[in-house]
């Protein structure tokens, strides 16, 4: 299996995938990771080309294209054997760079054709965390993007990679970098475990007990599905309103995470207002997904009933149903 991953500089994908390789090894799976950027520096050194980490994006685009092409030729030369010797080969690259207030293309269609990966993944993270990582690198001290620019860059990175996947008719996932490492493992090695989006009220939940209930619910849900949890990239609810952050949050949850999932499962630990959950239910419903709601009340709005396919009044009722659903669909007992 060949996976092509993208992500903006500072999103943390190299560190995450290093952890993934070790996690997979302990599970009996071999994973090989190629980091295009690091290989370009190594190749430049080998051929005597003066390319520095601080100034690489100042290089002539033709020089960068040639370097990238040379690295990809090396990967392609070994790829058939690598795929035989490993359970998964992962190639880390970028779709675009944001440098000197300009978007720079960081791919060549020729090599995407040659690679023909089985899946595309874009890693994302909160703009504050990306900014912190970039601030630790000399490369970005003179050209540090603002948080708004980081969000815009990340948006373009996702949409470009989604376009690659669409052109090559392959699966594509937007992947928050703070997802548990087993999320990626299940995504790659247990494809029958459906990817689902778990929705919950956040803004108006104040009780530690309710947050604990949400944690335990998601933990149980992970036994049955590959769970995408928006809290792994959620913005704080007690900060000053930033329209860019808010708009990006809505776009991310509704049009990236919900749409890539097979189901939307919403959980209310208590009855509170949540426009976010209601909109996520509607988005899932209108894109023809199963929409399951755990709502601890016999009173239900007609809108709640309309935009769901199943409603449960307790966790116990839901998990009793879910165990039977999994056994009937896959012939295996879980939980």
Dihedral of CA 72/57/251/108: which sign? negative
pLDDT, tens only, 43-82: 999 999 999 999 999 999 999 999 999 999 999 999 999 9
* Domain boundaries, given as residue ranges, for the chain: 1-191, 194-335
pLDDT score, position 329: 85
Residue the block writes with tokens 């990006």 = 248
Nearest to 228 by CA among 259, 266, 269, 198: 198
pLDDT score, position 234: 80
CA separation for the pair 174, 161 (Å, rounded): 9
pLDDT score, position 59: 94
CA separation for the pair 174, 155 (Å, rounded): 11
Q: Which residues pair with 31 in a beta bridge?
A: 88
Number of H helices, E strands in the chain: 12, 12
CA separation for the pair 187, 204 (Å, rounded): 32
pLDDT, tens only, 197-225: 999 998 878 888 889 999 999 999 999 99
Q: Are 13 and 94 in contact (CB under 8 A)?
A: no
Task: For domain 1-191, give its CATH number from 3.20.20.80, 3.40.190.10, 3.90.1150.200, 3.40.50.300.
Answer: 3.40.50.300
**Among 12-21, 24-33, 244-253, which is the least confidently predicted range?**
244-253
Q: Enter the pTM of the model.
A: 0.94
Nearest to 4 by CA among 100, 133, 93: 93
Beta-sheet pairing, 96-99 with 102-105? antiparallel
Q: Which two tokens stand for residue 49?
A: 């080309």
Same fold for the pair 1-191 and 194-335: yes
Q: What is the DSSP string of 312-324?
A: ESSHHHHHHHHHH
Looking at residues 77-92, what average pLDDT do you find? 98
pLDDT, tens only, 255-310: 999 999 999 999 999 887 788 899 999 999 999 999 999 998 878 788 888 999 99
Task: For domain 194-335, give its CATH number from 3.40.50.450, 3.50.50.60, 3.30.750.24, 2.40.30.10.
Answer: 3.40.50.450
Q: Are 40 and 52 in contact (CB under 8 A)?
A: no
């Amino acid at each position: 299996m060949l996976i092509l991953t993208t992500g903006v500089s500072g999103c943390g994908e190299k560190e995450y995938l290093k952890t993934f390789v070790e996690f997979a090894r302990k599970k009996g799976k071999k994973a090989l990771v190629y980091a295009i950027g690091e290989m370009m520096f190594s190749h430049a050194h080998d051929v005597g080309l003066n390319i520095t980490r601080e100034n690489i994006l100042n290089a002539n685009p033709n020089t960068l294209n040639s370097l990238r092409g040379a690295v990809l030729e090396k990967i392609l030369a070994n790829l058939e054997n690598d795929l035989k010797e490993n359970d998964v080969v992962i190639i880390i690259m970028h779709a675009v760079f944001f440098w000197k207030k300009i978007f720079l293309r960081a791919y060549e269609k020729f090599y995407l054709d040659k690679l023909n990966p089985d899946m595309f993944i874009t890693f994302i993270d909160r703009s504050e965390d990306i900014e912190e990582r970039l601030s630790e690198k000399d490369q970005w001290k003179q050209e540090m993007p603002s948080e708004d620019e980081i969000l815009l860059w990340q948006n373009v990175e996702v949409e470009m990679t989604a376009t690659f996947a669409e052109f090559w008719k392959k699966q594509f996932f937007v992947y928050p970098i703070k997802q548990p490492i087993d999320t990626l493992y299940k995504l790659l090695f247990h494809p029958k475990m459906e990817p689902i989006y778990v929705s919950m009220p956040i803004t108006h939940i104040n009780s530690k007990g309710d947050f604990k209930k949400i944690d335990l619910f998601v933990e149980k849900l992970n036994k049955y599905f590959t769970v995408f949890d928006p809290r792994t990239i959620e913005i704080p609810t007690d900060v000053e309103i930033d329209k860019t952050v808010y708009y990006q949050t809505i776009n991310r949850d509704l049009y990236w995470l919900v749409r890539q999932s097979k189901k939307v499962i919403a959980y209310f630990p208590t009855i509170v207002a949540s426009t976010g959950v209601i909109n996520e239910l509607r988005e899932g419903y209108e894109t023809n997904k199963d929409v399951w709601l755990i709502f601890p009340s016999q009173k239900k709005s007609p809108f709640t009933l309309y935009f769901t396919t199943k409603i449960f009044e307790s966790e116990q009722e839901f998990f009793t149903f879910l165990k039977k659903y999994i056994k009937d669909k896959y012939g295996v007992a879980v939980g």
